[in-house]
Amino acid sequence: MKPSEIHYLSLCGMLGYGYPLDNFKHGINPHVCFIGADNGSTDPGPYYLGSGTGFVKSMQIRRDLEPALLTARKQNIPLIIGSAGGAGAKPHVDSFIKILHDISHQHKLHYRLAIIYSDIDKKQVLDALQQNRLSPCGPAPTLTEKRIHQSSHIVGQMGTEPFIEALEAGAQVIIAGRSCDTAIFSALPVWKGFDPGLALHAAKIAECGALCAVPAGANDSLSVILSENHFIVEPTNPARRCTPESVAAHSMYEQPDPNCFYEPEGKIDMQHSQFTSFGERAVKVSGTRLIPPARDTIKLEAAVLKGYRTISIAGLRDPSAISHLEEIEAGVRDKVAQNTKGIIDPNAYSLHFLRYGLDGVTGPREPLPAPLPREVGLVIESIASTQELADTVLSLARSTALHQPFEGRKTTAGNLAFPFSPSDVSCGPVYEFSIYHLLETQKNQPLFKLCIEEI
């Protein structure tokens, strides 16, 4: 039988970024019927998906996961975690599962675990490309067969369906690969028969923890109560409160359109959403509706290797050197090219100068400051086809930049202040997002692999 309302807790905005344990415990009561947390994002860039590594370290995950797992088991309620390990590909999920196993073993926990993998077979993506079932999600670059082959891990952002399948299988802990943030928090309510429009809107707010509150707190818990015609959000930390403005403002966070957002379940239309105060610290939301999609889609993500990076950081204080930085940069490029002629293919590397204090952040989109600043921070970067080549090019560029002459130079012993020795840092592989496309799915072609394990 469908309950009249459903109460759940969002642990924090990002599992691993830390949250105050007291505020989490404060949010736990016998009415709470599941705990959810998001563990991933594309925000930290393509490197993590491409390389299969996490942007949050194991110790951080363990610290945040342990109390949530112990509490969920003690209360006998599901713990649902999406985008496990960061980017949600198999290496990320497996490293997360290892931590989960360790904690479970240590505390002698027994439960049914569902692992949902989000890795999409390249063959399926290639077929979809041929059959015109792939479309760029926003201004993503054109996709080719070559780009698909080059991509290291292709993941699909799962919606509520695979989570519901895991719940139906009796899972008490669900660890999912790449997931729509909303699926983590809306799957159980949708499964129980609650309105998907409201459930998805509530989930969109819940996935960031108490970021929708005042003061905003991404690393803090949020309580959600979903009913037939509305939902109520309230931060568990008594020092925070939700206001209609703060919750409405959060609804448009990280989305290109303030009136709606899109999920595999359809378009979540917020044009008629009402946000009203509920008591001192809670906000009640109603009027959101789901418009089912014309075609079923899943968003795919992938990254390709672009080379290897080496950087050097230096400061400039000499006014003349600061005002001649462009000339210095051009001179360095020239000398590196001359010096490596016949030895290094000029197409095998690139050199970049990032000039903090001048235009490091916004680049050519803003004029240079006038007057020029007293100091400038310089990052010299090389990207090349191998790490050794990137190191070599950077080493040459760095020593050249130190001694590069320019018009009216007084600082003839050196242009740059290097804070560190060694001055050069090998940064490893550089990736770029290659796939950010909607895949039109086909009936009877499951994309996400569900594994059930008895712990």
Residues that bind other proteins (CB under 8 A): 42-47, 137-141, 244-245, 248-249, 252-259, 306-307, 350, 352, 354, 360-366, 383, 430-433, 436
Residue 258 or 428: the one with the smaller Cβ distance to other proteins is 258
Comparing C-alpha atoms, which of 186, 123, 91 is closest to residue 439? 123
Cβ 69 to other proteins shortest distance, Å: 29
Residue 206 to residue 32: CA distance in whole angstroms = 14
Q: What are phi and psi of 408, to 5 degrees?
A: 75, 25
Question: What tokens appear for 6 in the block?
Answer: 């459903």
Residue 115 or 325: the one with the smaller Cβ distance to other proteins is 325
Residue 21 or 354: the one with the smaller Cβ distance to other proteins is 354
Q: CB atoms < 10 A from the CB of 163, how many?
A: 31
Q: CB atoms < 10 A from the CB of 39, how many?
A: 30
Residue 142 or 445: the one with the smaller Cβ distance to other proteins is 142
Cis peptide leading into residue 139 (ω within 30°): no
Using DSSP's 3-state secondary structure scheme, residue 441 falls into coil
Cβ 354 to other proteins shortest distance, Å: 7
Cβ 187 to other proteins shortest distance, Å: 22
Environment class of 69 (CB within 10 Å of its CB; exposed 0-12, middle 13-18, buried 19+): buried
Cβ 208 to other proteins shortest distance, Å: 12
Cβ 51 to other proteins shortest distance, Å: 12
Residue 8 or 353: the one with the smaller Cβ distance to other proteins is 353
Residue 165 to residue 451: CA distance in whole angstroms = 11
* Helical axes 181-191 vs 196-206, angle rounded to 10°: 140
Cβ 21 to other proteins shortest distance, Å: 27
Residue 382 or 400: the one with the smaller Cβ distance to other proteins is 382
Question: What tokens appear for 363 in the block?
Answer: 């680049």
